[in-house]
Structure 1
Amino acid sequence: MSALHMYNGQPAFTLRTPVASAIPLVCDSPHSGTIYPEDFGHAIPRALLRAAEDTHVEALWQAAPDVGATLLAAHFPRSYIDANRTLDDLDPELLEAPWPTPLAPSEKTRLGYGLIWRNVNATTPIYSRKLPVAEVQGRITRCYQPYHEALASAIERTHAQFGAVWHLNLHSMPNNAYERLQIQSAHPLADFVLGDRDGTTCEPAFVDLVEQELKTRGYTVARNNPYKGVQLIAQIGQPGLQRHSMQVEIRRPIYMDEASRERSAQFNAVQRDLTGVLQAIARYLRDHSAVRRESSKDQPGLLL
């Protein structure tokens, strides 16, 4: 394993490859990491920082390799560096010196949730210090770049094998998502939010399938509200090239206690439901007209 794939003595991610006949599906969980680096230097208690985690999301979808998909999961915490942001989505006010290349802070950065998070919520800053440029560059080198390289490689390998690829970008959302995003909403947060950047990153039939499978199991589903998807699906989703990408957000109280981060009594049931969704996706992709069936081969193995 390359040293670039290590941080704090740990791998930056786990990549699990198919253990069943492969299908053209790549799943990634960029925010479920729970290994906090020694050099984080945060000024707030770890318990507060953990509110940023998509805790247990990779476990909810752990059956992906069993149905023939690839599953990538980050180990580093999102609040340390956010793999679902662009490298220029960085707040210059966080830095003790100018960044060497041009920056383009987004609305996420304005809220405090850019490449390097400034706040853990609207009123609680993470740091009591400015961050050295070299420290942020080290986070990029050890965590962000290896994760993106692994995901890009899985996408390209799958597309080359099948002539098409579908990507699920897996997340969870806090129950107060509208409040955190400073959005006024007249309706409650759905159990699941499917994001395809307003229909631009994924074929409609695939989004329809996932929505229907979730609703059949009793969940409420919304599209692109309040989450449309950010960098990863924007980068990967090119339906005209048979590259389809969709973000899936699950409301955290469905499967865990938001305060303790512990799995709830409903966790196993939700996990079983998502296994059923994955099985339905596998059937859909095996029958899809864009998929080269002669390329479907077993790819057993576990990579770190």
Structure 2
Amino acid sequence: MGPVVVSVPHAGRIYPPEILAAARVEQSQLERLEDGWCDLLAAGATGAGAVVVEALWARAVADLNRGEGQMAPGEVAMSLRAQFSAPGRKERAGLGVVPTRLFDCGPLWKRPIDSAALHWRLESFHRPYHDALTEVLVEARDRFGHAILIDLHSMPSIPAGQPGHGARIVVGDRFGGSAGAWLIDMVVASAGRLGEVVTRNQPYSGGHIIRTHGQPADAIHAVQIEIDRSLYLSVERLPDTARIGRLARWFADLVGDLGQARPGNEIFPQAAE
């Protein structure tokens, strides 16, 4: 084990029977919420010295990259509406801690999310994931003097007119709030060696996971990496073995390099030519 922890929160592919029974759409539509096959990109991370915390349950069950208070009042039962009084843009779009809508198929569930459904999802899936991240990050920090969290995601191609259009990899640190500059500089430089367009914080600066767990003042640094799915999936959204292998090797090398970084002394491994 080294100081690097990898989080893969949206690649789960398990749908409990209760979820499918509650859905008003087909499983194939719920699967659109997934960061399809993103876990395969982290396949070499453990061998490179990282601890990998990976969700097995689908994002439709609970979105681990949203906070417990991130829901729109109109998406929950009447008894819960008072506690979700200030929704943001994503929550209003149905992408809260429980995803409730997709833009072209309407509501995902037969009934609004009630207290029992919310409690079950938080207690069974959301809280255990974050407890696991906290545990391994604190253990790494206490052992090595610092910890590094890489929160790994995939994204659709960024459309024209949106900030970051043309980028194939987006590295987010919440505009410097979740990590030291040394870390994001290393990650951006490493991603750039893939020959793809890389942006920082545009259009994704990082979500609940790095906001919650990235505490640079406490020597826990966190960045989010978004990778365009077209870099590793076929047009049928199936894994492309060769392209996944290329990205998995890059990611393992990144983990290995970060494991050697010494932020306190500003001593870092030399970049490969």
Is this a same-fold pair by TM over 0.5? yes
Could you tell me how far apart the structure 2 residues matched to 1:81 and 1:116 are? 5
Could you tell me how far apart the structure 1 residues matched to 2:41 and 2:263 are? 25
Matched, 1:289 2:268: no
Structure 1 residue 289, shift from structure 2 partner: 3.3
Matched, 1:133 2:120: no
* 2:221 match: secondary structure: strand
- Indicate conservation of the 8 Å contact 2:9/2:55, yes or no: yes
Structure 1 residue 196, shift from structure 2 partner: 0.5
Q: How has the CA–CA distance of structure 1 residues 39 and 152 changed in structure 2, closer, same or farther, with 3 Å as cutoff?
A: same
Matched, 1:209 2:190: no
* 2:170 match: secondary structure: strand
User: Mean alpha-carbon deviation: is it higher for 274-283 or for 135-144?
Assistant: 274-283
The one-letter amino acid paired with 1:38 is P
- Indicate conservation of the 8 Å contact 2:178/2:223, yes or no: yes
Equivalent in the alignment of 1:105: 87
The one-letter amino acid paired with 1:114 is G
The one-letter amino acid paired with 2:136 is A
| TM-score (norm. length: structure 2) | 0.88
Equivalent in the alignment of 1:167: 149
Matched, 1:24 2:3: yes
The one-letter amino acid paired with 1:61 is A
Could you tell me how far apart the structure 2 residues matched to 1:158 and 1:235 are? 17
* 2:79 match: secondary structure: coil
* 1:148 match: secondary structure: helix
Could you tell me how far apart the structure 2 residues matched to 1:130 and 1:100 are? 11
Aligned residue pairs, count: 262
- Indicate conservation of the 8 Å contact 1:165/1:243, yes or no: yes
Structure 1 residue 43, shift from structure 2 partner: 1.2
Structure 1 residue 257, shift from structure 2 partner: 3.1
CA deviation vs aligned residue, 1:205-224 (integer Å, no higher than 9, x gap): 11111111111121211011
| TM-score (norm. length: structure 1) | 0.80
Question: Which of 70, 81, 86 matches 1:89?
Answer: 70
Q: How has the CA–CA distance of structure 1 residues 246 and 186 changed in structure 2, closer, same or farther, with 3 Å as cutoff?
A: closer
User: Mean alpha-carbon deviation: is it higher for 264-273 or for 197-206?
Assistant: 264-273
User: Mean alpha-carbon deviation: is it higher for 94-103 or for 267-276?
Assistant: 94-103
What is the root-mean-square deviation of aligned Cα atoms in Å?
A: 2.1
Segments of structure 2 that go 5 or more residues without pairing to the other structure are: 267-273
Segments of structure 1 that go 5 or more residues without pairing to the other structure are: 1-21, 292-304
Q: How has the CA–CA distance of structure 1 residues 130 and 62 changed in structure 2, closer, same or farther, with 3 Å as cutoff?
A: same
Kindly, what percent of the aligned residue pairs are identical?
27
Could you tell me how far apart the structure 1 residues matched to 2:202 and 2:187 are? 16
